Copies of this chain bind each other. A is one copy, B any other.
Amino acid sequence: MKLSELKAIQLAELFSALSDASRVRIISLLLDGEMGVGALAEKLNMTESAVSHQLRGLRQMRFVRARKAGRQVFYRLDDDHVEKLYRMGLEHVQHG
């Protein structure tokens, strides 16, 4: 099937969002519900800065959505497509 250059780039960008282990782990935690930046950082053993930088990218891709509560910002998955992609990938990895 012929694919336009634009769509190819969009698809590549979509999969790029899941092409890093830190982002994958962030998403795996958010599957259970929303979580703040600090909590994510602690669970993932990453600095808050690094997590925040990654969340920015995920936000721009509309993979996650932010909710501000006081001085905390809670993130959650924005789209169930993300979860579907994640689960399909996991299936492939587990018995591939």
Closest to A3 in B: B28
Chain A interface (Cβ within 8 Å of chain B)?
Answer: 1-3, 5, 7-12, 14-16, 18-25, 28-29, 31-32, 62, 79, 81, 84-86, 88-94, 96
User: How many subunits of this chain does the assembly comprise?
Assistant: 2
Closest to A9 in B: B21
Contact (Cβ within 8 A) A24 B11: yes
Contact (Cβ within 8 A) B1 A24: no
Contact (Cβ within 8 A) A21 B1: no
Contact (Cβ within 8 A) B32 A8: no
Contact (Cβ within 8 A) A93 B28: no
CA distance A28 to B4 in the complex (A): 10
Contact (Cβ within 8 A) B93 A7: yes
Query: Known: A7-B93, A84-B88. Is A24-B2 also a contact (CB below 8 A)?
Result: no
CA distance A42 to B23 in the complex (A): 35
